[in-house]
Structures are given as C-alpha cells and as structure tokens.
C-alpha cells in the first residue's frame, strides 16, 4: 500500500461570520446580488428606486447588507430587475468578485475581526479584486492558524466523536493496516506465537532504524524518533503503564503509515488510533489471532483473558484487538469500555447499539457510566484474579459483559467487553447468575439519590468537592499536544553529536 494513503487529515467546514442561520435571509449575499443585477441592466440607484418606489438611500443600505427588505419590496425588486424570486434569493454569488465581497463583509462583521481592533475596509467597486483576494486570504489563514493552535476541549470531544463514528462504520477493522503489519511480519520471519522484544527490534532494524536506550528521554514523550539519522530513542526505565514493545511498534507505525506532522487535533488523534492499531496487529497477527478466536468460538469458550495469555499482551490490548476482529471475522458485534474507578469513561467503542452516555456533541469520554453496568459493578468484586461476568437489562436490550480491573499510575480502571444477548452463547462465563437492570439515561436510575435518602438529607449536606482543575484547562497547544518541542529538539541535538 502507498504510505501516502495513510496521511489522512480532517477538514472542518467553517461557516463564514455574518452568514444567516439555516432558513434565514442572508442580507449580505442578497445585497451583492441586487447590486450585480442592477449594474447588469445599467441602472443607477435612482433608476431602480423610481421603479420600485423606494428612496435610493434605502436601496443603498440593502445593497450593502445593512437592511433587510420586506417581502413586498423583494417582489418589486425581482420585477424591476427581470428575474424570479428564486434567482434573486439564490445561494450562489453572481460572480467571483461578488463572492469575495460577501466573504470580506462577513469577516469584518464577525467576532474575530472585531477582536483585532482594526478599522473596517469599505467594500466598494473602487477596491481592486487583487486587494479583495489578499484580505479574504489573510482572514482565512488567520482563522486556520488560530484553529490549529487552540483546540478547545469541546473540539477535542467532537474529534473523538467523529473518529468513533468512522471506527463504527468500519467495525473497527482496517484491512490496509492489517496488510502493512503482515508484510512486516513476513519480512522478519515471524509467523505465530507471542512477539518477543527481539522480534520487535528486528522490525525496527528491517526498516533501517537503530534503537537507542537513554535515561534522559523528554518527560512528555514515550519515545522520540530521529528521522534524520534513523534512530528511535526509548527510555531505559520500565514504565509499568506501557508495554515497551507497543511503544516501539507505535513509533515504527508512524513511519510505516506515512504520517506527517498533524494539521490539527483530529489528525493527531486519528494518527494515534492508527498507530495503536498497527502495534496491536503486530503483537497479535491477524491470521494467527483469527484462527485462535475461531477455535475458541467453535468450543464456545471465547474469553479475553485467554487471548491475553496466548499472545502475552495486556488485558486492554487483548480487548482492543478483539473489537478489531470480532465483527469482521466472527460476526459478533460488541462494545468496549475503559472506566476509571470514579465511574468516568476513559475510552469506549461500540457497534452493537449499546446506549453509552453521551453529551450534546455525541462525545462519550468523560461521561459517567450507570452504576449498575458491569464496568462499575466490577470495582466492588473482591475476586480480582478472575473476570467478573454479568447480564444487564437496558432500555435497548440485554447485554452480557465480562470485565477486569487494572491499576495504573492514575488510579484503578475497569476494562470490559460486552455483547448483545444473541452472541453470549459463544463466551465462557455465559452461565453467570449475576444480573442487573439499568434505567439510564433516565435520571431516576442512578443519577438522583433515592427518595428516602433525599428526604432525610437534602439541604443538610454540604460536601467539599475535589477540585477538578483539569476540566477548565485549555487543550495543550502544538502539533503534538502536550509535547514540549523545544525539549525534544534539544534532546535530539544533544544525542546527534558524535
């Protein structure tokens, strides 16, 4: 596959400042269209005013987008200009110049231009087309750079939502990445079984990269790749939260998939998902993993912990990989959750219709999971050695879920895989007697205190909340959010010296 095929980015659609909402009259565009049609008929404002019975000064305000005409005047204008109402109110600007005039007028009436404190340019026939092109181009470039530098948490949530929709549409399966991983595995002679640190290093070497283990890796990074000298720098310390093989393979993935510097947060997020997928497809090769899963399905013994043990990966990696292959190769729809001990969703995926909590943007991350779901109930289970299995009746059907908890530096998390009731027959643990009922998103399910407790304590409790200052923090700036590029460049400079 051509690497350029994986250099993907998203382009946001911006509505020009000053444009009317859907269904509203765009008075700036209307005014430019009236002026264009008037001049096309070689009419002055006085001529048009005499035909429609309106003062030329009033028509000038309409042409400059500063006054909205009444319907009767619109009808008179259409008649005087020999056009239908549809043409008079059409969406397309009548000429390239008119389009530029409309864009500049909208921009100057928008909040960004207002915030700059600059004088407004009078848009008239005396303003050359070249000047219009420059002013509109400058405005668009300023907007693009501000968008690139200051992604908000809401924009990040929207990017997450869009990416999850893409993953759902693909059943979280990316055949092009699978092929790239298979080609690499064949090149280094790895066929089946757990992928060792030695084979991971062979993959990097095959691609022309030398591995350098250092003790001064920039604190904001897991690895640093020197594309100039084809070196990958890794830390000497053992960070328990991250499998060293995954860190190396993700670094390799950026190179193999042809990634370039992210153009925005959505592009950055997409690249991370693709490289994580790439690393998992090397640690758990498609052919061998699918063979294993099909055998387990035939025996009705599918279990995430068995997949974890068979390929020597973390439970989270095994669960993620199951979502990649379950629908494509086994015909099983599913969902995945990583939930913090506070009940907040950290990561999630679904293509089985489960009703994840979501905000107005459709974002799932950061939302509280129903306390009756398996991903919450597992925290109260004393047996941490074996998986906890539970059926949950929800408003959209019954789901069976299997979950475990793992401790990380940021707290304890539950990792769960769930399937609709129709698919549970293939899984070990289907005979569980654990069952719960969730009424969420109905607030009476678990978001409001029981009536008895409320009657006794409402108005008599004043908790001191833990300050979640991170909720107010802006998204980190830069092409690689959260990474100190100066620190990275100084690191590379220091290590590139012979």
Residue 471: is its pLDDT beyond 70?
A: no
Chain segment 40-97, per-residue pLDDT in tens: 889 999 999 999 999 989 998 888 888 888 888 989 998 999 888 888 887 677 788 8
Which pLDDT does position 239 carry in this prediction? 52
Among 190-194, 235-239, 340-344, the range scoring the smallest mean pLDDT is 235-239
Q: Of 1-5, 206-210, 473-477, where does mean pLDDT reach its minimum?
A: 1-5
* CATH topology assigned to domain 159-437: Arc Repressor Mutant, subunit A (1.10.10)
Burial-class residue 209 by CB neighbours within 10 Å (0-12, 13-18, 19+). buried
Q: What would the mean pLDDT of 407-425 be, rounded to a whole number?
A: 93
- State mean pLDDT over 200-209: 95
* pLDDT value of position 475: 54
Strands (E), 184-292: 210-214, 223-226, 231-235
| d(C-alpha 76, C-alpha 54), whole Å | 10
The more confident residue out of 322 and 125 is 322
The answer to whether residue 418 scores a pLDDT higher than 60 is yes
Q: What is the DSSP letter of 151?
A: -
Residue 435 burial class via C-beta count within 10 angstroms: exposed 0-12, middle 13-18, buried 19 and up: exposed
Q: What are phi and psi of 267, to 5 degrees?
A: -65, -40
Residue 143's pLDDT is 75
CA diameter of the chain: 89
Higher-confidence residue: 89 or 184? Answer: 184
Instruction: Name the band, by pLDDT with cuts 50, 70 and 90, for residue 2.
Output: very low
Rounded Cα distance between 491 and 473, Å, is 27
Max mean pLDDT range (7-16, 173-182, 223-232): 173-182
- Categorize the per-residue pLDDT at 380 as very low, low, confident or very high, splitting at 50, 70 and 90: very high
Residue 440 pLDDT > 80: yes
Q: Residues of CATH 1.10.260.40 domain(s) within the chain?
A: 27-149
Q: What is the mean pLDDT of the chain?
A: 85
Contact 341, 334 (CB under 8 A): no
d(CA 24, CA 49): 25
Q: What is the pLDDT of residue 4?
A: 36
Residue whose structure tokens are 């990634």: 259
Structure-block tokens of residue 357: 């909590």
Residue 132 is encoded by which pair of tokens? 């219009």
Percent of the chain with pLDDT over 90: 47
Banded model confidence at residue 468, pLDDT cuts 50, 70, 90: low
**Residue 251, pLDDT above cutoff 90:** yes
| Nearest Cα to Cα of residue 25 among 57, 76, 69, 73 | 69
479: pLDDT confidence band, cut at 50, 70 and 90?
low
Res 113 pLDDT > 80:
no
What is the arithmetic mean of pLDDT over 354-364? Answer: 84
Asked if pLDDT for residue 12 goes beyond 80, the answer is no
Residue 274 has pLDDT above 60, yes or no: yes
Q: Whole-angstrom distance between the N-terminal and C-terminal Cα of the chain?
A: 36
Residues of the chain with pLDDT > 70, as a percent, come to 88
Residue count of the chain, please give it.
498
Q: 345 or 20: whose pLDDT is higher?
A: 345
pLDDT (0 to 100) of residue 237: 60
Element of type H or E holding 489: helix 485-496
* β 435-437/345-350 pair status: unpaired
Domain 27-149 has CATH 1.10.260.40: yes
In which residue ranges of the chain is CATH 1.10.10.2910 found? 159-437
Q: Which pLDDT tens digit goes with each residue over 212-233?
A: 999 888 888 889 999 999 999 9
3-class DSSP assignment, residue 319? helix
Of 456 and 497, the one with more pLDDT: 456
Q: Taking a C-beta distance cutoff of 8 angstroms, is the pair 274, 324 a contact?
A: no
What's the whole-model pTM score? 0.69
Cα three-residue angle 17-19-23, rounded to 5 degrees: 150
- Model confidence at 148, pLDDT cuts 50, 70, 90, reads low
CB 80 within 8 A of CB 109: no
Position 473 pLDDT exceeds 70: no
Task: Tell me what pLDDT residue 152 has.
Answer: 66
Evaluate if residue 1 carries a pLDDT over 50.
Answer: no
pLDDT of 498 above 70: no
């Amino acid at each position: 596959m051509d690497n350029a095929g994986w250099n993907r980015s998203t382009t946001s659609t911006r509505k020009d400042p000053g444009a009317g909402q859907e269904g509203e009259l765009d008075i700036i565009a209307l005014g430019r269209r009236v002026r264009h049609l008037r001049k096309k008929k070689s009419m002055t404002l006085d001529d048009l005013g005499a035909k429609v019975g309106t003062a030329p000064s009033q028509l000038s305000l309409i042409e400059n987008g500063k006054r909205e005409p009444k319907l009767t005047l619109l009808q008179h204008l259409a008649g005087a200009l020999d056009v239908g109402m549809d043409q008079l109110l059409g969406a397309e600007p009548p000429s390239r110049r008119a389009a530029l005039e409309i864009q500049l007028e909208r921009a100057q009436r928008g909040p960004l231009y207002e915030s700059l404190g600059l004088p407004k340019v009078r848009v008239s026939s005396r303003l050359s087309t070249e000047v219009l092109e420059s002013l509109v181009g400058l405005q668009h470039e300023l907007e693009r750079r501000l968008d690139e530098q200051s992604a908000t948490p809401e924009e990040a949530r929207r990017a997450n939502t869009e990416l999850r929709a893409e993953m759902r549409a693909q059943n979280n399966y990316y055949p092009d990445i699978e092929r790239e991983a298979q080609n690499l595995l064949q090149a280094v002679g790895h066929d089946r079984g757990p992928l060792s640190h030695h084979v991971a290093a062979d993959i990097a070497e095959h691609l022309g990269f030398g591995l350098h283990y250092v003790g001064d890796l920039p604190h904001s990074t897991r690895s640093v790749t020197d594309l100039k000298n084809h070196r990958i720098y890794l830390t000497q310390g053992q960070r328990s939260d991250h499998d060293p093989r995954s860190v190396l393979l993700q670094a390799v993935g950026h190179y193999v998939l042809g990634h370039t510097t992210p153009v925005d947060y959505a592009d950055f997020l997409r690249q991370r998902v693709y490289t994580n997928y790439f690393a998992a497809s090397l640690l758990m090769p498609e052919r061998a993993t699918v063979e294993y899963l099909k055998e387990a399905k035939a025996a009705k013994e599918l279990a995430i912990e068995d997949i974890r043990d068979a390929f020597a990966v973390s439970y989270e990696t095994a669960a993620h990989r199951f979502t990649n292959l379950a629908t494509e190769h086994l015909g099983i729809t599913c969902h995945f959750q990583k939930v913090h001990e506070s009940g907040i969703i950290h990561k999630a995926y679904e293509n089985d219709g489960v009703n994840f909590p979501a905000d107005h943007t459709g974002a799932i991350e950061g939302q509280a999971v129903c306390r009756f779901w398996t991903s919450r109930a597992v925290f109260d289970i004393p047996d941490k050695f074996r998986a906890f299995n539970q059926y949950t009746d929800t408003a959209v059907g019954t789901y069976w879920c299997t979950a475990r908890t793992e401790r990380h530096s940021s707290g304890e998390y539950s990792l769960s895989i769930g399937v609709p009731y129709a698919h549970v027959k293939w899984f070990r643990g289907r005979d569980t007697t654990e069952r719960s009922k969730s009424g969420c998103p109905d607030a009476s399910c678990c978001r409001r205190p029981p009536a008895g407790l409320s009657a006794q304590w409402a108005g008599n409790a004043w908790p001191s909340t833990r300050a979640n200052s991170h909720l107010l923090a802006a998204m980190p700036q830069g092409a690689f959010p959260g990474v100190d590029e100066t620190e990275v460049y100084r690191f590379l400079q220091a290590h590139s010296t012979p």
